[in-house]
Structure 1
């Protein structure tokens, strides 16, 4: 249970569930814990690529969980290294 991937993904999923349930009604917790959301809110991104209000909310949840999953994988690889098993 020392996997960063597991814990970061669970934390991101819990934040998304809190947002869906209405406990984070102003999206503050989701915004503070989601770097993809930060990128979407930049003026350059919203004027040149897509405005965040035109994305479905489920896409924000998927991007948040996916970001923390990838970051957890990166941490696991950096901390624990690549384990090669010989058969």
Structure 2
């Protein structure tokens, strides 16, 4: 009985808690700043660049974004976004 309780507790802490808390792992941006691994639509830097250049993004910015990737492609496009540019999950995701 006690062993089962520990397994359930471990499952809740490791599997469920991160899902419910929406915690993103910390990471380091290509220019060595502290960031969070988030979906690209939750990063003000990306939204600003897209608003400025649309489909004509300069190659240097494209390379920076590619080097910022922090999760496999199958999970969607996640990149390491500098902390100051992360849009909180409960915020309206429009460019501010």
Q: TM-score, normalised by structure 2?
A: 0.28
Structure showing the higher strand proportion among its residues: 2
Structure showing the higher helix proportion among its residues: 1
Greater C-alpha radius of gyration: 2
Q: TM-score, normalised by structure 1?
A: 0.30
